[in-house]
Structure 1
Amino acid sequence: MPDIERKFKCSSVPYPPIISCIALLISMRAITWIGFIIWLVIRLIIYFIYGRKHSIVQNESKD
Protein backbone atom coordinates (compact mmCIF):
# COMPACT_ATOMS: atom_id res chain seq x y z
CA MET A 1 0.00 0.00 0.00
CA PRO A 2 2.30 2.76 -1.21
CA ASP A 3 -0.28 5.55 -0.75
CA ILE A 4 -0.99 4.97 2.94
CA GLU A 5 0.04 7.74 5.34
CA ARG A 6 3.11 6.81 7.37
CA LYS A 7 2.94 7.95 10.97
CA PHE A 8 6.55 7.18 11.76
CA LYS A 9 9.65 7.88 9.68
CA CYS A 10 13.25 7.22 10.52
CA SER A 11 15.29 9.75 8.62
CA SER A 12 18.74 8.36 9.33
CA VAL A 13 18.23 4.77 8.16
CA PRO A 14 20.48 2.85 7.22
CA TYR A 15 23.34 4.62 8.99
CA PRO A 16 22.71 3.70 12.67
CA PRO A 17 22.40 -0.06 11.96
CA ILE A 18 25.54 -0.03 9.79
CA ILE A 19 27.52 1.88 12.41
CA SER A 20 26.24 -0.43 15.17
CA CYS A 21 27.24 -3.56 13.24
CA ILE A 22 30.70 -2.19 12.49
CA ALA A 23 31.17 -1.24 16.16
CA LEU A 24 30.16 -4.74 17.27
CA LEU A 25 32.47 -6.38 14.74
CA ILE A 26 35.42 -4.21 15.77
CA SER A 27 34.86 -4.93 19.46
CA MET A 28 34.96 -8.73 19.05
CA ARG A 29 37.98 -10.58 20.39
CA ALA A 30 40.35 -12.47 18.09
CA ILE A 31 39.21 -15.87 19.39
CA THR A 32 35.68 -15.04 18.29
CA TRP A 33 36.88 -14.19 14.78
CA ILE A 34 38.91 -17.40 14.59
CA GLY A 35 35.94 -19.47 15.71
CA PHE A 36 33.70 -17.70 13.20
CA ILE A 37 36.11 -18.32 10.31
CA ILE A 38 36.55 -22.01 11.22
CA TRP A 39 32.78 -22.48 11.49
CA LEU A 40 32.26 -20.64 8.20
CA VAL A 41 34.79 -22.81 6.35
CA ILE A 42 33.25 -26.04 7.74
CA ARG A 43 29.76 -24.91 6.74
CA LEU A 44 30.84 -23.86 3.25
CA ILE A 45 32.46 -27.25 2.68
CA ILE A 46 29.28 -29.03 3.78
CA TYR A 47 27.16 -26.71 1.63
CA PHE A 48 29.17 -27.31 -1.55
CA ILE A 49 29.45 -31.08 -1.01
CA TYR A 50 25.71 -31.32 -0.45
CA GLY A 51 24.98 -29.08 -3.45
CA ARG A 52 27.24 -31.11 -5.73
CA LYS A 53 25.59 -34.40 -4.79
CA HIS A 54 22.02 -33.09 -4.94
CA SER A 55 22.26 -30.78 -7.95
CA ILE A 56 19.39 -31.27 -10.39
CA VAL A 57 21.40 -29.90 -13.31
CA GLN A 58 24.39 -32.15 -12.64
CA ASN A 59 22.24 -35.24 -12.06
CA GLU A 60 20.34 -34.69 -15.35
CA SER A 61 23.55 -34.83 -17.37
CA LYS A 62 24.51 -38.22 -15.84
CA ASP A 63 21.31 -39.96 -17.09
Structure 2
Amino acid sequence: MQWQTAQVSGQLTELHVDVGDSVEAGQLLAELEALRTQLEQRRAGCHDAFRPNRLASR
Protein backbone atom coordinates (compact mmCIF):
# COMPACT_ATOMS: atom_id res chain seq x y z
CA MET A 1 0.00 0.00 0.00
CA GLN A 2 1.33 3.43 -0.93
CA TRP A 3 0.16 6.57 0.92
CA GLN A 4 -0.04 9.95 -0.76
CA THR A 5 -0.56 13.13 1.25
CA ALA A 6 -1.14 16.77 0.48
CA GLN A 7 -1.83 19.90 2.50
CA VAL A 8 -4.26 22.39 0.99
CA SER A 9 -6.46 25.25 2.12
CA GLY A 10 -10.19 25.17 1.62
CA GLN A 11 -13.44 23.81 2.92
CA LEU A 12 -14.49 20.25 2.17
CA THR A 13 -17.73 20.46 0.20
CA GLU A 14 -18.11 16.87 -1.02
CA LEU A 15 -16.59 13.59 0.13
CA HIS A 16 -17.00 10.81 -2.43
CA VAL A 17 -15.41 7.91 -0.50
CA ASP A 18 -15.42 6.46 3.00
CA VAL A 19 -12.57 5.06 5.05
CA GLY A 20 -11.85 1.55 3.81
CA ASP A 21 -13.33 2.06 0.32
CA SER A 22 -11.36 0.73 -2.62
CA VAL A 23 -10.39 3.48 -5.05
CA GLU A 24 -8.87 3.57 -8.51
CA ALA A 25 -6.09 5.78 -9.86
CA GLY A 26 -7.50 9.12 -10.94
CA GLN A 27 -10.78 8.69 -9.01
CA LEU A 28 -12.23 11.87 -7.52
CA LEU A 29 -12.10 11.49 -3.74
CA ALA A 30 -13.23 14.88 -2.48
CA GLU A 31 -14.04 18.43 -3.54
CA LEU A 32 -12.83 21.60 -1.85
CA GLU A 33 -14.17 25.14 -1.89
CA ALA A 34 -10.83 26.91 -1.92
CA LEU A 35 -11.66 30.10 -3.81
CA ARG A 36 -13.50 31.77 -0.92
CA THR A 37 -10.69 30.85 1.46
CA GLN A 38 -8.06 32.26 -0.90
CA LEU A 39 -9.97 35.52 -1.27
CA GLU A 40 -10.36 35.85 2.50
CA GLN A 41 -6.63 35.26 2.98
CA ARG A 42 -5.78 37.89 0.36
CA ARG A 43 -8.12 40.40 1.99
CA ALA A 44 -6.57 39.72 5.38
CA GLY A 45 -3.12 40.23 3.87
CA CYS A 46 -4.20 43.56 2.38
CA HIS A 47 -5.55 44.74 5.72
CA ASP A 48 -2.29 43.76 7.42
CA ALA A 49 -0.29 45.57 4.74
CA PHE A 50 -2.16 48.84 5.36
CA ARG A 51 -2.27 48.61 9.16
CA PRO A 52 1.17 50.27 9.75
CA ASN A 53 0.15 53.23 7.54
CA ARG A 54 -3.03 53.77 9.54
CA LEU A 55 -1.14 53.69 12.83
CA ALA A 56 1.53 56.06 11.55
CA SER A 57 -1.07 58.63 10.43
CA ARG A 58 -2.65 58.91 13.90
Q: TM-score, normalised by structure 2?
A: 0.40
Q: Higher strand fraction: Structure 1 or Structure 2? A: 2
- Structure having the higher Rg: 1
Q: Higher helix fraction: Structure 1 or Structure 2? A: 1
Q: TM-score, normalised by structure 1?
A: 0.37
